[in-house]
Structure 1
Amino acid sequence: MSEQSDDGAKTGSDGIEALSGVRGWLSRAARMLTGSTVTLTEYDPARHDPLVQFDGLPGYEEVDRYWVNVPFTFISINYDPEETKHYYHVVEPTLSDMEADLLDRLFEDIRGPLLYRDAVADDPEQALQDELEARLEEYGVQVTDEMFYRLFYYLHRSFQGYGKLDPLMHDPHIEDISCDGPDLPVFVYHDEYTDIETSVSYEPQELANFVIQLAQRSGRHVSVSDPVVSTTLPDGSRIELALGEEVTPKGSAFTIRKYADEPFTPIDLLNYGTVDDEILAFMWLAIESNKSLIFAGGTAAGKTTSMNAISMFLPPRSKVITIEDTRELSLYHDNWLSSVTRERMGDADITMYDLLRSALRHRPEYIIVGEVRGEEAITLFQAMNTGHTTFSTMHADSVQTVINRLENEPINVPRPMVTSLDILWVQVLGRSGGERVRRAKTVAEIEGIDQRTGELDYSNTYAWNSQTDEFRDQGSELLEEIREERGWSESDLLNELRNRRKFLRYLQDNDVTDYRRFTAMVNKYYADADEVMERIDEETTGLEV
């Protein structure tokens, strides 16, 4: 097959000659024919030929294969025994030379009509299919169903998708996508095979055009004078763009941190071993008791994911405000106000500090801040000291590092104010059993200022043992504080923790990982815990019998 660019068209002088020839043939055919009718039937793998074919890569052993866009695209994971590494190969429909030339003309002829269609009134996919049928009938080209769907796929991925990156954006196993420059393979972080090289790469101009396109999709502008952009795609994915060679000598580059369509729930954290049910029951009780939290960790440790999941324990109808640089948090909560900063608008910039000051006037019960890194931290801790419950994240790999960052430049929170923080959750991307795992390394409690040393005092309530991959309970003073605040006896406290652990295990056993269902179940527990536990006991007893 001849070399193809992103839109599937043949490149080079041979391609230009072939394209000129096919256009002449199409024009003659159109004059000779009164037109043709495209009679399309829905693709059925039992009746139609497959749209994609793949016989394997020489020298590689295929270890996994899965669809990302049925019936157009699947992924083949291969292993190179000599290099001892995996390779991510994208398999898409193969075009004949004539189909590739035809596709090139279709791009030019369909682009305009699509732009002038009513995007609100029309279904985008149906609009594209209608335009494709109309152009083929206009050309007088007789096509098979398989040929039509192959052409449709490449038109769709360019006009409504992400071009050759589209299969990677559809892959639910991918967390990050990195392109370090032109003529270099794109790398991805796969949830099973970790960092892996892909079969996707870009030529220099093709990559520059794609970076500009990504910026435009996000409503931003990137240029040689302003070559670096951090923004968010319409689906919520975070992107970092660099255009040209001004700041990236290899050429244009981009990184995409994909946004999960379905946010993680506490049950997902249990299933992945990030925490155990004892820690979750402790955190649930702390959140209900209006304790303030900070989730710390390094890059890709999953701290924001964990904070979002733990936030699903928020009491129903409580007033919640979230403040972020880029949209990542997703709650199923009735009384939730989401706010995002606006940057690079001259004097009209709206910073996280501005949003946080504004949030306090909304009288929230809970304030969730995407990440604190500067002057907004002072306002956040002022909010804590005035009785607001706050959650936030920080880049730090230990409890002491969090404290050092808070007390020093550029944050500079006075030590007495730090004592209003109740819990520090430190999460790591570590290794256990030869695999990379995300774990809550430490859950610590801030206890106040040591009168002898003047230093901030804290204790580790839970700690992760990487050798056994287990969590150790090291005692909690905060639980005693909660017990006194609620007027519970020691047995009341232990019974409440036991019930919540049982409730969480029940949801795990029943695979309640949808965030809407999970939140609904938690709300039922808030409404009538006794009734919920009775039903769980009845179901559990019935299963045992």
Structure 2
Amino acid sequence: MRSKVKGGVFRKTPSDLEAKVNEAASAVAYHAAKELVGYGAIDPLIRDPYIEDISCNGIGIPVFIYHTKYEWLTTNIVISDLEYLKSLVSKLGVKGGKEPSVATPIVEGVLKPEGYRVNIVLDTASRHGPQFTIRKFRSEPFTIIELLKTRVLDPLVAALVWMAVEMKQGIIIYGPTGSGKTTLLNAVTMFIPTEFKIVTAEDTPELHLPFHENWGAMVTRLSTDEKVQSVTLQAQVDAALRQRPDVIIIGEIRSREAYSFFQALATGHGGLTTVHAESADVLVRRLKSPPMSVPASLIAAVRLFVNILRVERGDKVVRKVVRVHESVRYNPELDDVELQEIITWRPEDDSWPLLTRDLVTLRTIASLRLVSYDEALEDLRRRATVLSWLVSKDADVALLHSAVRLYRRDPEEVYRRALAEVKEYELRYR
């Protein structure tokens, strides 16, 4: 459509006009395309890959953005024309499949074809006029190698998650808004064996599994029409359990679907999800409280709890996996789940040492694989070495996939290749 708009402008421009006229025609074509098929005043922000959030708080107020490097910034875009802002909000509603009205002044949708989340509030429910917020995400998610290169986590943490995912253990990634939970979730899905049956359930389609063909992807559909069925996360999880999945992935749990997810873990399914919480204690309290209402006995079915936060490092704010807990057991006397912190991030030297020499996670994996604890520990170290090697090679998603798949079939061969180029990863204890 954009090319058609541009072509239409140039067909009306004689071929022998001066270069300045052609330049002016290009500008007209750009602005016409931006308004007709793009996002108008905010189109450049939509196209910028370094912008995560776009927020317009009303008429005559600068548009704010959340930048991947500089966090919240004020732009020079100010929408002062009320009718223009209303038309832009209406366009966002149409593209998001949820056009607001006086009856429903607050709506959420998914912009098509980009897939970005949009929240719209009309002036009937906003003091400063119509407002909107757009949450963007990368078309090609970060790989675990990219997260390792930027020190979001280190090879030890990634290797432990790799082992847990491969053995169908439950993992919860938790942290506050904007901490990188979904980014990390997307990255660790690369560790899921390609022969596994995967079912995902999401409000917004953000998960990306390029090498998994046996993948059932479901998304929420809410309806106010009695004749049109709503598809909630709860309905998606219930449907997933009937599809004989090896692994169930929920983009985020926050309501009744949590109970079904934990039941799936307790019956032998692998599971990955995210939860909004800043600490392990807060996480467990949230899970046990309404509307999730998950019994502590089921919470114990989760193997790893991975905490990711935004932290200050000098003059920058970066994302870090700051701690990893594992479930030890369910305590019936206290009706609570006992957690053990096993890895913590040390800001003084940017390292992730182990806090114990006895990991319940490794004992569980060793039991499932019919090997000794020491053999499982050695495998952890070897996988960390392989990941260090892939970082040194600046591995792309194809090489990462190939290495992970080959390691499952022939770990000795992959480890031998890694040792030819990097040193053995040394486990550190605190």
**TM-score between both structures, scaled by the size of structure 2:** 0.91
Q: What is the 5 A alignment of 1:264-303? A: 264-303=142-181
- Note the residue ranges of structure 2 that are not aligned, 5 or more in a row: 424-430
Residue equivalent to 1:182:
59
CA contact (8 A) 2:304 2:325 kept: yes
Q: 1:530 aligns with which of 406, 412, 416?
A: 412
Distance in 2 (alpha carbons) for counterparts of 1:410 and 1:193: 35
Return closer, same or farther for 1:450/1:126 CA change in 2, 3 Å cut-off.
closer
- Note the residue ranges of structure 1 that are not aligned, 5 or more in a row: 1-123
1:441-460 deviation line (CA, Å, top 9, x unaligned): 22111111236544321100
Q: 2:361 aligns with which of 472, 475, 478?
A: 478
Residue equivalent to 1:506:
389
Q: What is the 5 A alignment of 1:41-440? A: 124-136=1-13, 144-203=21-80, 204-234=82-112, 235-243=114-122, 245-332=123-210, 333-347=212-226, 348-440=229-321
- Count how many residue pairs are aligned between Structure 1 and Structure 2: 415
Residue 516 of structure 1 and its aligned partner are, at CA, apart by 4.1
Secondary structure of 2:90's counterpart equals helix
Residue 468 of structure 1 and its aligned partner are, at CA, apart by 4.1
Return closer, same or farther for 1:211/1:522 CA change in 2, 3 Å cut-off.
same
Residue 198 of structure 1 and its aligned partner are, at CA, apart by 0.6
Tell me which moved more, 201-210 or 291-300.
201-210
CA contact (8 A) 1:239 1:256 kept: yes
Secondary structure of 1:216's counterpart equals helix
Return closer, same or farther for 1:247/1:473 CA change in 2, 3 Å cut-off.
same
Which AA in structure 2 matches 1:188? I
Distance in 2 (alpha carbons) for counterparts of 1:191 and 1:364: 35
Distance in 1 (alpha carbons) for counterparts of 2:322 and 2:70: 23
Percentage of identical aligned residues = 32
Return closer, same or farther for 1:170/1:540 CA change in 2, 3 Å cut-off.
same
Distance in 2 (alpha carbons) for counterparts of 1:125 and 1:214: 18
- 2:336 counterpart of 1:458: no
Return closer, same or farther for 1:141/1:226 CA change in 2, 3 Å cut-off.
farther
Which AA in structure 1 matches 2:83? Q
Distance in 1 (alpha carbons) for counterparts of 2:245 and 2:259: 18
CA contact (8 A) 1:325 1:352 kept: yes
Which AA in structure 2 matches 1:313? F
Which AA in structure 1 matches 2:365? I
Tell me which moved more, 141-150 or 422-431.
141-150
Residue 137 of structure 1 and its aligned partner are, at CA, apart by 5.6
Return closer, same or farther for 1:357/1:452 CA change in 2, 3 Å cut-off.
closer
Residue 136 of structure 1 and its aligned partner are, at CA, apart by 4.1
Residue 285 of structure 1 and its aligned partner are, at CA, apart by 0.6
Q: 2:370 aligns with which of 477, 480, 487?
A: 487
Which AA in structure 1 matches 2:130? S
CA contact (8 A) 1:304 1:370 kept: yes
RMSD: 2.1
Which AA in structure 1 matches 2:403? M
CA contact (8 A) 1:264 1:515 kept: no
Distance in 2 (alpha carbons) for counterparts of 1:376 and 1:485: 28
Residue 275 of structure 1 and its aligned partner are, at CA, apart by 0.9
Distance in 1 (alpha carbons) for counterparts of 2:197 and 2:178: 29
Residue 368 of structure 1 and its aligned partner are, at CA, apart by 0.2
Distance in 1 (alpha carbons) for counterparts of 2:138 and 2:161: 23
CA contact (8 A) 1:432 1:469 kept: no
Larger RCO (CA within 8 A; separation ≥ 6): 2
Which AA in structure 2 matches 1:492? E
**TM-score between both structures, scaled by the size of structure 1:** 0.72
Tell me which moved more, 167-176 or 321-330.
167-176
CA contact (8 A) 1:263 1:515 kept: no
Residue 398 of structure 1 and its aligned partner are, at CA, apart by 0.8
Residue 521 of structure 1 and its aligned partner are, at CA, apart by 2.8
Secondary structure of 2:8's counterpart equals helix
Return closer, same or farther for 1:490/1:377 CA change in 2, 3 Å cut-off.
closer
Residue equivalent to 1:81:
none
CA contact (8 A) 2:117 2:134 kept: yes
Residue equivalent to 1:90:
none
Secondary structure of 1:161's counterpart equals coil
Q: 2:400 aligns with which of 496, 514, 518?
A: 518
Which AA in structure 2 matches 1:164? A
Return closer, same or farther for 1:219/1:534 CA change in 2, 3 Å cut-off.
same
CA contact (8 A) 1:230 1:241 kept: yes
Residue 539 of structure 1 and its aligned partner are, at CA, apart by 4.9
Residue 219 of structure 1 and its aligned partner are, at CA, apart by 2.3
Secondary structure of 1:344's counterpart equals coil
Which AA in structure 2 matches 1:500? R
Q: Over alpha carbons, which structure has the higher Rg?
A: 1
Secondary structure of 2:104's counterpart equals coil
Residue 464 of structure 1 and its aligned partner are, at CA, apart by 2.0
Which AA in structure 1 matches 2:149? N
